[in-house]
Structure 1
Amino acid sequence: MIRCSLSSVMVLDQQKAEDFYVGRLGFVKKHDVPAGAARWLTVQAADDSGVELLLEPAGMDFARDYQTALYERGIPFTQLGCDDVKAEYERLTGLGVVFRGEPRAPGSDMPMMATFEDGCGNLILLVEG
């Protein structure tokens, strides 16, 4: 069986991304290895569950263009999950995280969700479930 073990989020500044994903979202740093001018920097949920998230530098023009195009169109770069979106919305708002609106369920068969800015050039969709 094939499963996802690592996913990437392009970031404009790895240190700023580390500060946000670890300091505000509550992930823990898993790997931090020098890689040329950048780092192989991954984070994971504090309980060691889920997929490792690579905070990958958006070093190429095409990567920054893609990231910017998604952001400007209001399209989340990736999705994170939690048990209670409303509770996380309150916690993260208290920590200064900027949301694009209050949590909502966009349809009768859809879970509660909210979109926030990671401060590193991305919108992230937070989904309950």
Structure 2
Amino acid sequence: MSERRSRRGSSAAGRRGHTRSRTARAELIFSVSQMERGLWEGHYAQRLSDNAPIYLAAVIQYLTAKILELAAEEADNNGGERIITPRLLDLVIRNDGLLSTLFRNILISQVAPGPN
């Protein structure tokens, strides 16, 4: 009886790499494809770098994480349950110098507008 080894488990599997999304390769949560589509549909530029939607997704993910982190700390400081409300988000953004500058023209729904 001749000994034949199957190639299925060795080198053939190495050639069939599993494709991963750009979001997974960049280790992001926000979708890179959604960012790219938004950039194209918004007509922000005639040409886009391959890295532009990845960078945009990373920046938006960072800003979201930072705002939620600050809101969670504020919820802990206020006592009671740790619930993040639109009012709490608005409070956090308005009390942070850089975030208030970035979001100065943004209106968060369900929050009464403050004095200008």
TM-score of the pair, normalised by structure 1:
0.25
Write 1 or 2 for the structure with the bigger share of helix.
Answer: 2
**Which has more radius of gyration?**
2
Point out which structure has higher relative CO (alpha carbons under 8 A, 6+ apart): 1
Task: Give me the TM-score of the superposition, normalised by structure 2.
Answer: 0.27
Structure with greater strand percent:
1
